[in-house]
Amino acid sequence: MRRGSELTVLLRHERESAAPRILEALLEERTGGGPEAVRVAADRLLREHARWALDLAKPAAALVQAAGSERDRRLFLSWSLHPDGRTFEDLAKQEGICRQNVNGLVRRAESRVRAALETSPAPLPWAVSTLRTRLGAAATEDEVTRELARLGAGKTPEAELLTWLAGPYSPVPNHSGWVSTHPRQLVGRTADCLTADGGIRLLVDVEAELADLGLRADQIGPWLRASGAIVVHDVVVSMSGPLADVVERVLDAYGTARTAEEIAVDLASCGRAEEPAVLADALRARRFTGSPTGAVGLVGWPNQTGPDEKKCKAARNERAHGSSPKASVPGRTQASDDQAKHAHEEQLWLWVRVDPEVLRGSEAAVPVALVEGLGLAPLTRRTFSSRWGPVTLAYDTLQPTRGPVRAVALAAGAQVDDTLLLGFRATGDMDVEVRRGAGRVGATDEIATKAVNFPEILSGGAP
């Protein structure tokens, strides 16, 4: 027997086999993303020795027959495979039966077809499983069409049958061109994911949540854009909500000033087009400041040239040189006053180990020397602002604490096992830096050698 005949015998045997390994391997190579020479070779072998494996129309038609009687098949095709917008009531009038009977007939027909798939000959079960794997929980309509063509099911009715068996895939509300196996759940969970943490989240966290929904890794970026979000420096920014809030998130994510034109491009990249006049009006909000070059920044950022920042700088200079009298605060000692005066010139750095508790928004104890050095009196609290967001220190118990730093850590790009450095000044400002890895900085680092450093002393603290 010739080798070619031997391959024919093997493939013919696998046609009725429960595990057609050789056949599926050739089909995978023919339709996969491997080298073109491999795809061509697999196609040639199948055409020479198993041409029947390239014809999905016949097994698809046989599967439809499993739906039942002529009426059952008609209802299955009308409702399940290519719905045309008619309701159960419409179909009931067409068939001369009640609505409940239509529902029961359709569901039983669907069950029969899926049961018949389990015993259907190769390669139909493989084609259904492969389509489901390649599309994932959501895909664009163009992707569905492309994958069906690669599998040899580019025409109806086998295309409709395979798509239904693999899903079924239904249109996603408010996401034109997208289909999903659970569209409403996907939209709802995505919206919750994007609005958490003020609309700015680490990409790795968002990817993990969307992957749990069955979204493929290569689809996450397009899906985020279709859902009204952009990715900036490994941070996902929600572009939904009031325009001024969105612009503030964008600037927070970039960490640098941007022109109105650049901001407009960011908005348009996820389908939010705003008229220049509308954007210009939003940028007049007090939270933004402009520069002679036309760049827009946030008032709370250091080294801004806006009028509010100039006033803040002047006030800080007055206090730093002692020209502004200190108010008498009950419980404040001369030692704490001296420490606060020194802190005007040097920052007090708090080292925060970024762990799961920190990213869940936990609070943590901090040294008494830190809060006293910043001028906090007992039974008081103070919020310090930074370009990445605020952090509150509280001295309202014997053991002072800092509030959650989750939003700041995420906005600054910190990840688990990194070290977050919070540089407090008694003026109310705070700098934020991230050190990769949990270790302290080296001895040559300026912060380690010149600044006053405090590790946290409970959960979340660097050692």
pLDDT in tens, 128-150: 999 999 999 999 999 999 999 99
Q: 168, 192, 212: which is the final residue of a domain? A: 168
Answer whether 76's CB lies under 8 Å from 113's CB: yes
The distance from CA 383 to its chain's CA centroid, rounded to whole angstroms, is 30
Confidence of residue 198 (pLDDT cuts 50, 70, 90): confident
Cα(109)–Cα(96) distance, rounded to whole angstroms? 18
pLDDT in tens, 72-92: 999 999 899 887 778 889 899
Q: 54, 69, 84: which is the final residue of a domain? A: 54
Cα(429)–Cα(304) distance, rounded to whole angstroms? 13
pLDDT exceeds cutoff 70 at 351: yes
Cα(419)–Cα(386) distance, rounded to whole angstroms? 17
For every residue of 125-188, DSSP letters joined together read: HHHHHHHHHHHTTEEEHHHHHHHHHHTT--STTHHHHHHHHH---EEPTT-TTEEESSHHHHHH
pLDDT exceeds cutoff 90 at 199: no
Same domain membership, residue 202 and residue 223: yes
Number of independent structural domains in the chain? 4
Q: What is the CATH number of the domain that holds 402?
A: 2.40.330
Residue 68 lies in a domain: yes
Same domain membership, residue 381 and residue 362: yes
Question: Residues in the chain, how many?
Answer: 463
The parent domain of residue 87 ranges over 57-168
For every residue of 265-286, DSSP letters joined together read: HHHHTTT----HHHHHHHTTST
pLDDT exceeds cutoff 80 at 210: yes
pTM: 0.64
Q: Identify which of 102, 99, 172 has the alpha carbon closest to the alpha carbon of residue 135.
A: 172
pLDDT > 90 in the chain, percent: 44
pLDDT in tens, 441-453: 444 455 544 445 6
Same domain membership, residue 243 and residue 157: no
Same domain membership, residue 262 and residue 198: yes
Supply the pLDDT for residue 449: 46
Burial class of residue 348, CB neighbours in 10 A (0-12, 13-18, 19+): buried
Supply the pLDDT for residue 340: 42
- How many alpha carbons lie under 13 Å from residue 434 in its C-beta half-sphere? 16
